[in-house]
Amino acid sequence: MLISALLIGLTRALVGAAPRWQGAGPSDVQRIYFANHSSHIDTLALWSALPPALRRHTRPVAAADYWNTDALRRCIAVRGLNAVFIERQRSDPAADPLAPLAEALSAGDSLILFPEGTRNLQPLPGPFKAGLFHLAQRFPAVELVPVYLENLHRCLPKGSLFPVPLICTVRFGAPLVRIEGETRTDFLERARTAVVALAHGEQA
């Protein structure tokens, strides 16, 4: 609890992480918050922008090859954020990389997910990987909420060692509507477009 409070305080001091609920309000319904990914601070910013009651049951998805490689990162991810680790480099090709995420959703938790799979140097998201689509198919009752993290690509972009204090806004859009029979390609592009719309100040 102390680590979580320290992380929230540090994040707000550095980037503000002010929430803007443009298309969806805070709710205790189960959700997957999916966002653009351009900075090491993305996870902390989005998680910090949630109200405390939601934060307790919302688990960020963290790449094990980054967040589980040393004691400090592991402490932040596990004790501070209660993150769900995902293996981006699998030793067993037959293993289901989404299994830890499905387990968390089955337990009733919400997730924070970055569908690009890695950080992007640009302010707008690149193509989304298929994970979000498969989770949406397996958990149809879970709301899918697009989020745009504004300015974080300039605060601590990929390759930077030290953050630059900037004011970041966390924009939450309306839940993505499921469309019966929609293809994976169409779904992922529509999800990405919802995040881009928030970047342009539109309601997703």
Pick the residue with more confidence: 122 or 57?
A: 57
Tokens for 129, please give them. Answer: 């990987």
Closest among 200, 92, 91, 105 to 144, alpha carbons compared? 105
pTM for this model (two decimals): 0.90
For the chain, the domains span 2-199
Write the pLDDT tens digit of every residue in 50-107: 999 999 999 999 888 877 888 888 888 888 899 999 887 766 777 788 999 999 999 9
Candidate from 19-23, 139-143, 145-149 with smallest mean pLDDT: 19-23
Alpha helices in 116-183 (DSSP H): 131-138, 152-155
CATH topology of domain 2-199: Glycerol-3-phosphate (1)-acyltransferase (3.40.1130)
